[in-house]
Structure 1
C-alpha cells in the first residue's frame, strides 16, 4: 500500500501523528541552544615555554626549533607557526580539519616529553593548550561610581568575580583597571649605604618578623592545647618601627632608612566607560557553552548583585554578544515569516481557493516543527546558519505539496470523487516529487562530508534544509492527500458568487494565467519547429552572461554590521602610561562627537589576545566603540568607521588603527583580510622586504591600516655584569640581577593583614632613586661575606634597545604584512597587490606568500567546487534511478546551465560579490532547478506511456504543468526575497545566497519551459538512431528499412 493511500484511508491516524510531531517539535524547540554560528572546533593547539634570561635568537635555536621539529612528526599537521621573544617561545600547531583535538593534545605532550631532557637548563616545563577562538569575552562590563577605584576593584573581585565564575558555562572572569592597595617600603639608597644595609637584608627582616605559625601542641591538666606563634604586623606604624641592626651593630628602625606608606600598586592599566574611570569586568564562556543562555544567567546574577550595591555605583554593558545574536536570529526569523506569507499569497493567487491554500500552507509550519525534532537529535544549534537554512527552505517546503494538490485538483475538476481524486492525484506525481526532493537533498550531501571552515559553517545549513524538505515531502504525501480528501472544493465558474468582490479580481488573474497557457502553447509549438534557433539563442545568452564575470568581485565572507568598532592606539615604544592616556582621551573626544556612537569603553595599557586574556603595555590602548542599533542610524558601521578614521588621522604622534568588528572573523581567531608573508632566514633582509611590500600595498585603492609584524625593541637601560669582578666578591649574575629588580620593580617581602584583606608589602628604592642612574650605580649589594658591594663595582649601565620578536612559519622565519580592505572586494585588491609585488626583487631563498582571507577564500572555493561537482553527479544518479534511464536525467540537467545566466545577472545587478554563501546558493540551485524539469519530463513520459505521440505529449504536458511549475518557482523566489534584501542585523550573511537562488531560479524557470522540450526531442531522436543502429548490428539487417522517427513539426 502506498503511503498516500494509507493517509487517505486513515485520517485519524494521520492527525494523531501530526499531534505527536507538534508536541515533540515544541519540546525540541525549547531545548535547542541559541548561538550566532555553529560550534567551530578549530584544529589548533599551542605549546608555551618560558626560558628566563635568554634572548630571542637563543630561545629560537634552543627551544623553538627543537619543538617545531618534534611536533612536525605528528600525523595530520598542516602548518606550524611560532613566535619567539626574549625568554618566551610559543609554537602553534595547525592540524587538518576533522582531527580529534583531545587526541592531538595527547600526541603533542608525548612528543614534547621526548625532548624535555635535551632542552637547556632553566627552561620551564612546556605547557600545551588548545587554541579556541570562542574563548573571546562574551560580555564586558564597566563599573563606575563616586567611590575610589580601590573600593570598586575590591567589589569587582570579591563580589562579581567569585559569584559569576560559579555560573555553569562561565570559564573565567577577568578584572581590569582600578587600583590595588599596597604597603610601600621605599628605601633611601644613601641611608642604606651609610648604615651598611642592603635591600636583601631589609626584605629578609620584614619577612622574618611577620608570620603566623603553628608550633605544635602541649598537654596541660589532661587537656590538649595547640601552640601558635603570632608575630603579624597590626598597623603601618608597627612596620615603620621595625628594628634593624646596622653594620656598626647599633639598632635603628625601618623609618630611619625608608618611607613606609599605605598606598597603591603602580598603575599599568586604566579603564574608562564613557569617559568615567571604571573597572572592567570581562567574562568568557566555556567553548561548548551556549552564549545566549549564559548571558541570560549572567544578567540575572548581575541584576541581583546590582541590587545589593549602593545606588551611586553604575553598571554598564560595553559589550554583549548575545544582543547581536538575538537581533540576527530575529532578522532571519522575520525574513522567514515574511517569505512564508509571500509564498502563501502566491499559492492563493494561483489556486484562487481558500481551502486549497490552507491545505498547502499547513506544510510550512508542520515541516518546520518536524525539522526542530531532527535538529535536536542531530545536535544542531539554533544559529544564524541553521535559521538561514530554514528561511531558504521555506519556498521549497511547499513545492511538493503544490504539485500533489494541483494534480488532485485536476482530477477533482474531471469529476472524480474526493477520495479517488486524492488517491489518484498523489499516486500520479508521487514518484516525481520524491525524485525532486531527493535530488535537492543530494546536493547538500557533499557539504556534510567536505572539510574546512566552509564545511564547519554550512554543515548545519545543509542538514537543516535537508531535514526541512524531507519533512515537507512526508507532509505532501500524507497530510495533503488526507486533507484534500476531506475539504478540497472546486469552484464553479457559473456560480454568481464567483463574480462578486475580490473573487472578480481573482477571476481576472485566472484569465491571465489561462492566457499565459495559450501563449506558452504557441511558443512551445514554434520552439519545437525551430530547435536550432532555441539552442543557439540560449547558448549566446549563456556566453554573454559569462562575459560579465569580471564585473563580479570575490570575497571570503560578506562583512556584517555588528555595530562594533575597534580603535587600537600605539605610541612610540617606552611611552609612559600617562602620555598614552592623554592620547586616548583625545580619541575619546573625537568619538563622542560622532552621532551614531552609543558607548565607548577604553582600556589604556592593555593588549587583548586570541584567548580573551589581557596583557599590559603602557604604550598601547584599546577602545571598543558601540554604535546605536542599525534601525536607529542612517550610516553603516563601515561608513562610521571611515569617518572616525578620517578624523583621527589628524592626531599627531600616534599610530591609530580603526577596524570594524566582524563576528564571523572573531570566530576565526581574528584573521586579517590582507596577510602577506615574506619568508627567509635573515631578519634584516625580511624587514627590508616587508617594508617594500607594505609600501606597494598602500598604493592599492581600498587598502587600509597596512602595517608589518616587525616589532622594534623598546628603549632600555641594560645592566651588563662583569662576571670576573662579580666572582671576586662571590656574587653571581643572577644575584646582581635580582637585586636590581628589587630596587626598581620591587619585591613583595610579606603581606599585611587588615580587615580580612591581605595587602602586599613591597620593598624598593624611593621614586627619585629609581629614575636616577647615578643612584642606581651606587646600589648596595650584599656579598656572601657580608661586605657591601656597589653595583658599579661589578657591572656597568648602558642605553640600548630591547629584543624583538622572531616569527616562523613551517620552520622558516617570516615577517607578515597585514591590513584591512574598505570599499572593494577581496580578490581584486589581492590581485592588484600581487601584481605590484612582482616588481620587488627577491634574493635567493626568499619568498612572498599571500594568506589571510584570500587563502581562506581559495581553500573554501576549492572545497565547494569539489562539493558542487559531486552534487551534480549525485543529482544525475538519483534521477537515473528514478527514470531507470541514462538519457532522461541528462536531458533534465540541461536546466542547470541556464541558471548560471540568472546567477551572474543577479550578482551584477545587486552589486554583490561571489562569496562562500553565494557558492552555497549555487550548490543549492543544482538541486532546485531540476525540480521543474523532473515534473515536466515525468508527465511527458507518463502521457507517452498511455499511448500519446511524442509531440502531442509535449504539447499537452507543457500547458498542464505550467501552473504548478510557475507556482513552485514563484513561491520559492518570493519566499527568499526578504532574505535577499539583506535588511537587519546579520542579514548580510544570507543575502548573497538568496540572490543567487532567486536569479538562477527565475531565469532557469523561464528558459526551461522552452529549452527542455527541445532538448528532450533532440536526445529522443538521438536515442532512436542509436537503438536502430544497435538493432541492425544485432540482427545483421544490413540495408533494411529503418523505422521513421516522429516529426516535430
Structure 2
C-alpha cells in the first residue's frame, strides 16, 4: 500500500474512497443528514421524530421461534373425543400427511372438535403451505368425513400472535367499576360489536371470544304433551325449523314504480317460535308452546373466563403472520378509542349510569416497550462510558466527541439496514448492537488515535488534509481485517436452523450491520470531521459561527430535557469562542482543568441515567460507586500503560515463566468447560476414585447446558389441570378459588383465569386445563419504558405523601415507590407465593411458565412444559398406564422437581354409552338412525336453525326438558316413536352403561401418544436433567424394575432439542469460522507465524470467557456489599449454563479477541522492516519499541469493550435475562485477553530470535 501521495492516484480503491469523502465534505454533510433523518424514521424506539414520517422497523419482545405450522380445525358439536378421532381426525391426518413439505402432523381430538397441526419444513413459505392445504381439503373424496363436519384452515397466525387480551366491564361516569351487566349481555356485545370492530384494525388476523354465555333459543319439549297430542319429537323439530325463514319474491311494477317483494318470516323472539304450528289436532292447531317451553337461555359452553374470582367476558386479539405486533396493538388501541364512546350503556336501579368498557389484562406492548427501554438505557450508558474512557486515555475533548459521534450514526445506519432487509427489532436482535458497542468504538479509536499521532509528528509545512488522509489510509487495512474477523466469527449463527436460527439470526444481522456501518463511518465520515476539528485554524477563523451553532445546539438539548448534554455543549461553545484569546500556557492550564471537569460532568450524567445501585439509593452513593468503579478500571489501564515497558521487558527475559500463564489459563478454561474428568479419563479407576480426584470432579463437573435462559415477561401463566371427570361447574369453582387466592398476594396486580378454550382454532384446550394470567407489579412503580417513577417523600416521617384521593404525588425530586414487601426480592419469590396460594385438592401443580414462553414451548414440542416424555402405544389405556409408571419414577429423581411431574390423565372421563340392541329395534321396525336421531335431539339437543336479528345471530335448539334428561333413568325414559305409532322407551331398545373414556386423544403422524411433563430443580441445566432421567430409566429397564409394554415406545422432547441441534451444527461450523479468521489474518500479514501469533489470542479469550462463567457460578465471587448493596445481586452473579445465548457471546468474543494482536503485530512488522534487527538484543528492543508505540490504542480498544459491557452486566430491566449471558463471555474474555499485548510481542521476539540463530548457523559446504 502506497501512502506517500496526497491523492489516490495509483493507490487502492479503498484509499480512493477515503480521499473522496475527505475532499468532498458537502457530500459527507448531506450523507450525515440523510442517515440521521432516515435512521430516526426507521428507529424501533418510540422517539419523537417531529414532522418526519415514521416508518419504524417491525417490533416484538422476542422472535417467533415456533415451528412453521398450520392448523386444520373441524367442529362436530356434541361428539365424543373417540368419535372425533375415528371419524374426523384420523382420516384427515392420513390425507394431509402427503402434502409437500410436511414434516410432522400433531393431532388432537376433543369433545366437539378436532385440531390438526401440520408442521412444515422451515424452507416452506407460510402462505404457500396454506395454499397446499386448501387444495388438499378441496380434493377430499366424498364420504371421507361425516355429514356436517367441514374442516377449515385456521387463522393466518400463530399462538404467539395473541398479543392483546381484554375483558368487557361496566364502568360508571366517575371511572370506577359499576357492574350491572349480565354475562349474556356482555357476550353479545363482544360477539357482535367489539369483535368485528377490532378485526377491522390493521394487521389483525382474528379476534376470538371467551367467557360469558352465548344466547340460544331453547325449545324444551315435554314428552307427556307429545304423547297426548300424538306428536313425535321429529315433528316438533321440523316445525321449529320451518318457522324461521324469509323469502324473496322478485319485484313488480305498480304505477311505473318498482317494488321489491319480500316474505318476512324470521323469528324475532321466543314467542314467535312458540306460536309456530306443528299440526292440526281435532280441528285445533297444536303450537310449539303447547308441547314445549320456549325460552332464551345460555348455550352449552366449553370455556369460561374469570377475573379476580368472578366470571367475566373477554376476547383475544391475534396478530397476522408477518405484521408488526407493536403497530397492530397501536391500531387496536386506536380502534378501541374510536368505538368506546358508542358502546352500550344502561341506568342501574340506583341511578348510576354504567357503560361497557374494554379493559386490557394482557398487553404485549408493555413488554415490548420495557425491553426496548432496557436496550435504550444500555446503549446510552455504553455511549457515556465510552466518552469517559476516551476522555481519560486520550485527554482530548474533540477526539472524544468525534469517537462518541460514531456510535449514534452507526446505530442509525443499523436501523436503516434492518428496515431494508426486513429484520425485526426485538430483545435478541437489538442485543447485537449492545454487545457490538465496544467493537464499533474500536474502529473510531484506531483511526482517531492514528490521526492525532500523525498530526503531532507531521512536518510544519504538510497540509492537515494530507496528514489525515495518510493516517487513515495507514490503518484502513488493519481496521478492515479486524472487522472481517468479527463478521466471520458470526457466520456460524447464519447456519443455525430451527428455533435457534430464528432466535439468533436477527442478532447476527444486526451485529453485522453494526460492524459494517462502523467501518463505513470510520473510513468515510470520521476523517472528514477530523479534518475540520483538528486542522490548524487561523485567528478568528469562523470561530463565532461555529461557537454560535454549538451554543444553539446546547440550548436546544437543555430545553429538550437533556440538560447536562446541553450544558456540555454550551461550555464547548464558550471555549471555542474565547480560547484563542488565551496564551498557550493558559490554554494548557485550562485544558488540564477542563478535561477532568468534563469527565466528572459526564460521570454525573451517566450516574443519573444508569443508577447502578438502584433508585432506592441516593444519587451521591450512585455517583461514588460509578466514580470508583470506572475510575478503578481506568487507573488500572493508566498504570498498565505506564509500566507496560517494564513488564514487557521482564516477560521477554523470562519467557518460559510468562508463557506458562496463558497456557495455564487455556487449560483451566478447558477444564471448566468440559470438566476435570475430561482431563483424567485415561487414568486408572483407582486413581480417579481417590479423594483429591473426586473433589476436583465435584468442583469442576463441566458447564451445564440448556437452550435459552428464560426471559422475564413481568407476568406468569399458571397452568394446572383438574381431574378429567371435573365438570365445567367444578372447574369454575376451582378457578374462582385460585384467582381469589392469587389476588390476595400484595405483589400481584391482576389475575385473569381461563378454563377450556377461546373460540379459536389456536386454542385447543379441554375444560380440565386452567390458564391463569398473573400480572405482578414491578419492584418499583415504573413508566412505560420500565424506568422507576418518583413520588413526593417526607424524610422526617420516612413516608410517602398522598393527595386527597390517597394517590401518590409525582415528584421528580422524590423517591421511587417500592411495590414489593420485605423478603420479596425477585420474581421467583413471587412464584413461590403463587404456588402456595394455588394448592387445591383435585388439581395438579404447574411448571413455572410465562405467556410468551408457554406459547413458544407448546408450538415447538406440542407440550405445555419445556421438558417431557412422549409415550406412543397401541391403545390409550396402555399409554396412560406406562405414563403413570414414569411419573412415579421421575418424582424420585434428585435432579427433577417432583411438583412439576405430571402424566396425562387420558382415560379418566366418565362416559354414558347407549348401545342399541339391534334385535329389539327390529321388532319395532326401527332403524338405528331413527333411534340415534332421537338420542341426539332429546338428550344432546339439536340445532333447528338460526335467528337473524339485525347484525346478531342466535341458534335455536330443540331437546327434552332438563329434568327429563339429566339422569340415567331419565334418559332411559326418552320415547322413540315406532312406525306402528307406538312410543317405546329408550331403555327397551338399548343398554346404558357408565364407562371410562378419553378426555382428549393425542396423536403424532397417526400414532397415539401421551405426555409426561417435568421440569428440573432450580439451578439445574436442562441437559443435566434430561441425561439424569435417561440414566435412571435405562438402568431401571435393564434391572427389570421398569417393563416397557409391548407396542409401547417413548422419546424425550422439549426445547433442549434445539440445544442439541445447535451444538451439532456449531461443532462443524465453528472450526470452519475459526479457519476463515486465520486465513483473513494470513492475508493481512502474508506470514503464517505472525497469523498464528495473533490467532493465539482467541484461545486465551475463549479460556477467559469460561473462567468468568465459572466465577459467576461460585458462591464467593463478589460476595461483598457496597453502601449496603449486595454486589452479587447488582452484577446478577449466579450460575449461567452453557446456552445458545452464551455461545453467541463467545462468537462475538472470537471476532474481537484478535484485534489487539492485529494492531500490535501490524506495527511489529513495520518496525522490523524498517530496523532489520540483527542481534537478539536488537530484536527485543524493536519489540519493546513496537509494543510501547501501540499499547495506547490497544488498551483503549480493550477498555472501551470491557467497560462498555458493565452497564449491560448490571441491567435488570426486561430483556436483561438474555443480554447478560451474552455479555459475560465477552467481558471475561476481553479481560483475560489483555495478556496478548505481552503474548504477541514475546512470541514474535522468540520467532525472530530463532530465525536469527538459524541464519547464523553456517551451512555445510557441498562436496
What's the TM-score, normalizing by structure 1?
0.90
Q: Which residue does 2:869 correspond to in 1?
A: 676
Q: What is the aligned counterpart of 2:926 among 714, 725, 731? A: 731
Q: Which residue does 1:474 correspond to in 2?
A: 520
Query: Residue 878 in 1 paired to residue 1070 in 2?
Result: no
Matches of residues 478-497 of structure 1 in structure 2 within 5 Å? 478-488=524-534, 497=589
Q: Which residue does 2:489 correspond to in 1?
A: 443
Give CA-to-partner distance per residue, 1:722-748, whole Å, 9 cap, x none: 223334444332332222121123223
Q: Which residue does 1:628 correspond to in 2?
A: 777
**Distance change >3 Å, CA 655–CA 710, structure 1 → 2:** closer
Query: Residue 137 in 1 paired to residue 162 in 2?
Result: yes
Q: What is the aligned counterpart of 2:756 among 589, 606, 620? A: 606
Please identify, of 509-518 and 238-247, the stretch whose mean Cα deviation from structure 2 is larger: 509-518
Query: Residue 706 in 1 paired to residue 901 in 2?
Result: yes
Q: Which residue does 1:1047 correspond to in 2?
A: none
Give CA-to-partner distance per residue, 1:197-248, whole Å, 9 cap, x none: 2221112222334433234566777776655444555664454454444777
1:292: how far off?
0.9
Q: What is the aligned counterpart of 1:945 among 1169, 1174, 1191? A: 1169
For residues 241 and 731 of structure 2, the distance between their equivalents in structure 1, rounded to whole angstroms, comes to 37
Q: Which residue does 1:663 correspond to in 2?
A: 852
Q: What is the aligned counterpart of 1:424 among 461, 470, 474? A: 470
Unaligned ranges ≥5, structure 1: 1042-1049
For residues 213 and 846 of structure 1, the distance between their equivalents in structure 2, rounded to whole angstroms, comes to 59
**Distance change >3 Å, CA 1021–CA 69, structure 1 → 2:** farther
Matches of residues 941-1020 of structure 1 in structure 2 within 5 Å? 941-949=1165-1173, 950-1005=1179-1234, 1007-1020=1235-1248
1:880: how far off?
1.9
Query: Residue 19 in 1 paired to residue 33 in 2?
Result: yes
Q: Which residue does 2:509 correspond to in 1?
A: 463
Q: Which residue does 2:941 correspond to in 1?
A: 746
Give CA-to-partner distance per residue, 1:527-552, whole Å, 9 cap, x none: 22333333333222222233333363
Query: Residue 584 in 1 paired to residue 584 in 2?
Result: no
For residues 541 and 756 of structure 1, the distance between their equivalents in structure 2, rounded to whole angstroms, comes to 74
Please identify, of 130-139 and 554-563, the stretch whose mean Cα deviation from structure 2 is larger: 130-139
For residues 319 and 764 of structure 2, the distance between their equivalents in structure 1, rounded to whole angstroms, comes to 16
Preserved CA contact (<8 Å) 1:333 1:387: no
Preserved CA contact (<8 Å) 2:61 2:368: yes
> Secondary structure in 2 aligned to 1:851?
strand
Query: Residue 560 in 1 paired to residue 715 in 2?
Result: no
1:889: how far off?
1.9
Preserved CA contact (<8 Å) 2:946 2:955: yes
For residues 312 and 963 of structure 2, the distance between their equivalents in structure 1, rounded to whole angstroms, comes to 30
> Secondary structure in 1 aligned to 2:944?
strand
**Distance change >3 Å, CA 503–CA 64, structure 1 → 2:** closer
Q: Which residue does 1:541 correspond to in 2?
A: 665
1:353: how far off?
1.3
Q: Which residue does 1:1046 correspond to in 2?
A: none
**Distance change >3 Å, CA 1027–CA 695, structure 1 → 2:** farther
Q: What is the aligned counterpart of 1:895 among 1082, 1097, 1109? A: 1097
Matches of residues 638-1037 of structure 1 in structure 2 within 5 Å? 638-649=828-839, 651-657=840-846, 659-661=848-850, 663-664=852-853, 666-667=855-856, 669-670=858-859, 671=861, 672-681=865-874, 683-699=876-892, 700-701=894-895, 703=897, 704-751=899-946, 758-784=953-979, 786-803=981-998, 805-809=1000-1004, 812-824=1007-1019, 825-841=1021-1037, 842-843=1043-1044, 846-910=1048-1112, 911-949=1135-1173, 950-1005=1179-1234, 1007-1020=1235-1248
1:964: how far off?
0.8
For residues 147 and 50 of structure 1, the distance between their equivalents in structure 2, rounded to whole angstroms, comes to 30
For residues 894 and 935 of structure 1, the distance between their equivalents in structure 2, rounded to whole angstroms, comes to 14
**Distance change >3 Å, CA 1027–CA 7, structure 1 → 2:** farther
**Distance change >3 Å, CA 1004–CA 343, structure 1 → 2:** same
**Distance change >3 Å, CA 845–CA 770, structure 1 → 2:** closer
For residues 299 and 890 of structure 2, the distance between their equivalents in structure 1, rounded to whole angstroms, comes to 44
For residues 536 and 132 of structure 1, the distance between their equivalents in structure 2, rounded to whole angstroms, comes to 58
Q: Which residue does 1:278 correspond to in 2?
A: 312
Give CA-to-partner distance per residue, 1:882-931, whole Å, 9 cap, x none: 22333322221100111122212222233222211111011111111111
Q: Which residue does 2:328 correspond to in 1?
A: 294
> Secondary structure in 1 aligned to 2:745?
coil
1:293: how far off?
0.8
Preserved CA contact (<8 Å) 1:902 1:1000: yes
Preserved CA contact (<8 Å) 1:135 1:287: no
Matches of residues 189-204 of structure 1 in structure 2 within 5 Å? 189-204=223-238
> Secondary structure in 2 aligned to 1:140?
strand
For residues 1002 and 287 of structure 1, the distance between their equivalents in structure 2, rounded to whole angstroms, comes to 43
Matches of residues 347-386 of structure 1 in structure 2 within 5 Å? 347-386=390-429
Preserved CA contact (<8 Å) 1:135 1:286: no
Structure with larger RCO (C-alpha < 8 A, sep 6+): 1
Give CA-to-partner distance per residue, 1:231-278, whole Å, 9 cap, x none: 555664454454444777765444443223343334554433334442
For residues 362 and 500 of structure 1, the distance between their equivalents in structure 2, rounded to whole angstroms, comes to 23
Query: Residue 337 in 1 paired to residue 371 in 2?
Result: no
Please identify, of 55-64 and 994-1003, the stretch whose mean Cα deviation from structure 2 is larger: 55-64
Give CA-to-partner distance per residue, 1:761-816, whole Å, 9 cap, x none: 33221121111333322322234565534323322222222346444445654332
Q: Which residue does 2:800 correspond to in 1?
A: none
Q: Which residue does 1:9 correspond to in 2?
A: 23
Q: Which residue does 1:409 correspond to in 2?
A: 452
Please identify, of 347-356 and 825-834, the stretch whose mean Cα deviation from structure 2 is larger: 825-834
> Secondary structure in 2 aligned to 1:367?
helix
What's the TM-score, normalizing by structure 2?
0.75
Matches of residues 8-157 of structure 1 in structure 2 within 5 Å? 8-29=22-43, 30-31=54-55, 32-38=57-63, 40=65, 42-47=67-72, 78-83=103-108, 91-105=116-130, 116=141, 119=144, 127=152, 132-134=157-159, 136-145=161-170, 146-157=180-191
Unaligned ranges ≥5, structure 2: 1-7, 9-14, 44-53, 171-179, 346-352, 537-582, 601-630, 674-700, 781-818, 1038-1042, 1113-1134, 1174-1178
Q: Which residue does 1:454 correspond to in 2?
A: 500
